[in-house]
């Protein structure tokens, strides 16, 4: 609620509303023929609507005349015309709705797809810094705003303008200018009054919504912390804070209702004065013999007919203002440039052995806080290299740079001698598979989650990957087998089962380069040992980068890099590093002591 209000309460003048409205046009272009046909139906509906008072005038004038023939023939034909126009107006209105529905919903679909595509193009930094809920709300409100604006434009604003234009032509050509002046002068006053009061009301409504949200949050917070409230005997304090907010809300609510009554009364008074003016001049024309009773009925009907759609003007104005604010959010999102951009001349990765090189790499997520300093190492084709170090040493940053979620600040990262910045991101990521520390699964079947590694794979290939990951037997033991739903984020599976699904997914992808990013750090010892055996089998003959916290999991690596404060301070095999007695040796002894103490506590 708070996010919504902040977005909508910013000064409206600093937005590029006209630019955003023009930005909608490409989304309508696919069905421009339908849009024009809907516009034609709109005009025909309004012609029928404006024709009704004209026919009504004819009926009234005919009934004023003497003679049986006139009474029998003319009014009957006019009455028939009256009925046809009524039916025609309704028919063309509904046709307009049906024809334009495809235009409106297609525009929503195109915009939604474009926004989601753009969100996937934006860099990892954007998604880490932005709340997912806020993105989804902006996406939902932004696409709905397009529908709202199209809806009100086609179904409210354009019909009003067409009807005003037709009535203006009839009044100006058939009657004295005073009728046009009174009619549209009244409309102008009505519109200005409605906009002014609605703007005032919106301020009260926004404050009401904010206070309601705050008071509900306050009440919920006090109930969530029920025990703490009781421990300190602060029930009265919580009630007073809650009631204070509701007191402010009450004042705003009263003002909102008062302004609503003022708006309704003011609109009614303006219509009444306008109709009185028209009747005054029309009655004078009838008395002077310059106008018939039918003319009086006509101008009065036109006046009242014009004000029927204007009754909703305040709501239309308010919704369009809100929608323009929401649309501005979505178009600003579309204008946001990805931090990691693919060059126009980017080439697909030409994979040979799969050698990975980090050459004098510096990197910082934020300029004031560098993460990596001069990191320089090579993972030869088919070699297994492990990176270890304390938390915050910069280990996981290496995998993010390898996937090019970020670009290096200095130096370069290359595969088979090709700088990642000159490659297409699709070909780069197709060559790398990862088993992350925290495996997140889609809320779908186990089969879908394994097949996600290569969506075009056959069922037999998916099954083979599961067998290699030693999870096939477990899946087959489930009542629904591979069609078992894993639940949101995979919560129905244990940590070890999720990791095995992640391993199967990586196997199915069939990459040349593998990354294991602390893939077993959150598992118990027995499960970790089983997963490690699987990972060793999978990593055979692959270029492999293992990022690990537990040193016992990487003793078989060809080379171990030890990182501290973003620098490589030691490297070598397990045996070599233990012999040197440096940081790796200290970490090994510390972890061995921790393991012994843990064993003693559980014994």
Give tens-digit pLDDT for 437-457.
888 888 889 999 999 999 989
DSSP state at residue 553: G
| Three-state secondary-structure class, residue 183 | helix
| CA atoms 369, 375, 381, 385: torsion sign | negative
Higher per-residue confidence, 331 vs 138: 331
The total of other beta-carbon atoms located within 10 Å of residue 71's CB is 13
Whether 9 has a pLDDT exceeding 60, the answer reads no
Whether 490 has a pLDDT exceeding 60, the answer reads no
- Does the fold of domain 344-431+511-603 match that of domain 1-173+315-339? no
Cβ-based burial of 467 (10 A; exposed 0-12, middle 13-18, buried ≥19): middle
Whether 535 has a pLDDT exceeding 80, the answer reads no
Whether 131 has a pLDDT exceeding 70, the answer reads no
Give tens-digit pLDDT for 323-334.
887 788 788 888
List the structure tokens of 140.
């939902």
CATH class name, domain 344-431+511-603:
alpha beta
- What phi, psi does 130 have (nearest 5°)? -105, 135
Q: Is the separation of the CB atoms in 38 and 154 below 8 Å?
A: yes
The 3-state secondary structure of 434-463, one letter per residue: EECCCCCCCCCEHHHHHHCCCCCCCHHHHH
Whether 7 has a pLDDT exceeding 50, the answer reads no
DSSP state at residue 175: S
Give the pLDDT confidence score for residue 449 in this predicted structure: 92
Which residue in 433, 436, 450, 466 sits closest to 544, CA to CA?
Answer: 433
Give the pLDDT confidence score for residue 75 in this predicted structure: 67
Length of the chain in residues, anyone? 603
Give the pLDDT confidence score for residue 522 in this predicted structure: 59
Higher per-residue confidence, 553 vs 579: 579
Greatest mean pLDDT among 125-129, 272-276, 460-464: 460-464
Give the pLDDT confidence score for residue 571 in this predicted structure: 92
Whether 357 has a pLDDT exceeding 90, the answer reads yes
Strands ordered across the beta sheet of 513-517 = 432-435, 513-517, 543-547, 384-389, 559-564, 567-572
Average pLDDT of span 186-211: 84
Confidence of residue 74 (pLDDT cuts 50, 70, 90): low
The total of other beta-carbon atoms located within 10 Å of residue 366's CB is 8
Q: Is the separation of the CB atoms in 147 and 28 below 8 Å?
A: no
Whether 137 has a pLDDT exceeding 90, the answer reads no
Give tens-digit pLDDT for 160-177.
888 888 888 888 888 888
Give tens-digit pLDDT for 400-429.
999 999 999 999 999 999 999 999 999 999
Higher per-residue confidence, 438 vs 346: 346
Mean pLDDT, the chain, rounded, equals: 83
List the structure tokens of 129.
């810094």
Whether 227 has a pLDDT exceeding 50, the answer reads yes
Rg (CA), the chain: 36
The percentage of residues in the chain with a pLDDT greater than 90, rounded to a whole number, is 21
| Three-state secondary-structure class, residue 571 | strand
Q: Specify the pairing of strand 384-389 against strand 369-379.
A: unpaired
Whether 70 has a pLDDT exceeding 60, the answer reads no
Whether 603 has a pLDDT exceeding 60, the answer reads no
| CATH architecture of the domain formed by 1-173+315-339 | Up-down Bundle (1.20)
What angle is formed at CA 145 by the lines to CA 143 and CA 151, rounded to 5 degrees? 115
Average pLDDT of span 71-85: 74
List the structure tokens of 580.
């040197």
Average pLDDT of span 85-101: 89
Give tens-digit pLDDT for 17-44.
777 777 777 877 888 888 889 888 988 9
Whether 112 has a pLDDT exceeding 90, the answer reads no
Confidence of residue 143 (pLDDT cuts 50, 70, 90): confident
Q: Is the separation of the CB atoms in 197 and 266 below 8 Å?
A: yes
Superfamily of domain 438-510: P-loop containing nucleotide triphosphate hydrolases (3.40.50.300)
| Three-state secondary-structure class, residue 160 | helix
What angle is formed at CA 62 by the lines to CA 56 and CA 63, rounded to 5 degrees? 95
Give the pLDDT confidence score for residue 438 in this predicted structure: 80
Whether 431 has a pLDDT exceeding 70, the answer reads yes
Give tens-digit pLDDT for 565-601.
899 999 999 999 999 988 999 999 988 887 777 666 6
Give the pLDDT confidence score for residue 527 in this predicted structure: 67
Listed by start position, the domains of the chain span 1-173+315-339, 176-290, 344-431+511-603, 438-510
Which residue in 415, 414, 411, 419 sits closest to 361, CA to CA?
Answer: 411
């Amino acid at each position: 609620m708070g996010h919504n209000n902040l977005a909508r309460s910013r000064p409206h003048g600093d937005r590029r509303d006209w630019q955003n409205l023009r930005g909608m046009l490409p989304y309508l272009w696919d069905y421009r023929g339908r849009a024009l046909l809907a516009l034609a139906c709109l005009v025909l509906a309004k012609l029928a609507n404006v024709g009704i008072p004209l026919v009504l005038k004819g009926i009234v004038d005919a009934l004023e005349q003497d003679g049986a023939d006139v009474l029998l023939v003319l009014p009957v034909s006019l009455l028939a015309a009256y009925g046809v126009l009524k039916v025609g107006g309704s028919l063309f209105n509904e046709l307009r709705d049906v024809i334009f529905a495809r235009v409106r919903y297609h525009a929503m679909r195109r915009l939604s797809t474009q926004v989601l595509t753009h969100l996937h193009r934006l860099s990892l930094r954007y998604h880490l810094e932005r709340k997912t809920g806020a993105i989804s709300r902006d996406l939902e409100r932004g696409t709905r705003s397009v529908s709202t604006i199209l809806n009100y434009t086609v179904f409210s604003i354009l019909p009003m303008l067409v009807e005003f234009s037709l009535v203006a032509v009839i009044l100006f050509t058939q009657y004295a200018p005073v009728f046009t002046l009174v009619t549209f002068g009244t409309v102008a006053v009505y519109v200005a009054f409605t906009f002014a009061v609605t703007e005032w009301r919106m301020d009260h409504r926004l404050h009401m919504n904010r206070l309601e949200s705050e008071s509900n949050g306050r009440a919920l917070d006090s109930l969530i912390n029920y025990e703490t409230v009781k421990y300190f005997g602060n029930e009265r304090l919580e009630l007073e804070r809650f009631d204070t907010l509701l007191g402010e809300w009450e004042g705003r609510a009263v003002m909102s209702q008062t302004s609503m009554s003022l708006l309704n009364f003011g609109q009614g008074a303006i219509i009444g004065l306008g109709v009185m003016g028209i009747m005054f001049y029309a009655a004078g024309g009838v008395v002077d013999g310059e106008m018939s009773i039918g003319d009086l009925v006509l101008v009065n009907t036109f006046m009242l007919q014009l004000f029927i759609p204007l009754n909703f003007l305040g709501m239309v104005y308010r919704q369009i203002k809100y929608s323009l604010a929401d649309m501005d959010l979505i178009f600003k999102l579309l204008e946001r440039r990805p931090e990691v951009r693919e060059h126009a001349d980017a080439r697909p990765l030409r994979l040979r052995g799969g050698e990975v090189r980090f050459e004098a790499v510096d990197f910082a997520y934020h300029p004031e806080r560098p993460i990596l300093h001069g990191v320089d190492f090579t993972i030869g084709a088919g070699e297994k290299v492990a990176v270890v170090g304390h938390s915050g040493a910069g280990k996981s940053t290496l995998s993010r740079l390898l996937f090019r979620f970020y670009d290096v600040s200095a130096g370069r990262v290359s595969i088979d001698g090709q700088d990642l910045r000159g490659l297409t991101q699709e070909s780069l990521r197709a060559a790398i598979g990862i088993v992350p520390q925290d495996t997140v699964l889609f809320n779908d079947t186990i089969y879908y989650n394994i097949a996600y590694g290569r969506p075009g794979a056959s069922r037999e290939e998916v099954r083979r990957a599961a067998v290699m990951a030693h999870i096939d037997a477990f899946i087959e033991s489930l009542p629904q087998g591979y069609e078992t739903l894993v639940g949101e984020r995979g919560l129905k599976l244990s940590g070890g089962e999720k990791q095995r699904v992640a391993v199967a997914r990586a196997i199915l992808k069939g990459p040349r380069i593998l990354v294991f990013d602390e893939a077993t750090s959150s598992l118990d010892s027995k499960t970790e040992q089983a997963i490690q055996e699987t990972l060793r089998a999978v990593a055979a003959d692959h270029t492999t980068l293992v990022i690990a916290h537990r040193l016992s999991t990487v003793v078989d690596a060809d080379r171990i890099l030890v990182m501290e404060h973003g620098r490589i301070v030691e490297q070598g095999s397990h045996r070599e590093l233990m012999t040197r007695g440096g940081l790796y040796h200290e970490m090994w002894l510390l972890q061995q002591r921790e393991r012994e103490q843990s064993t003693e506590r559980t014994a």
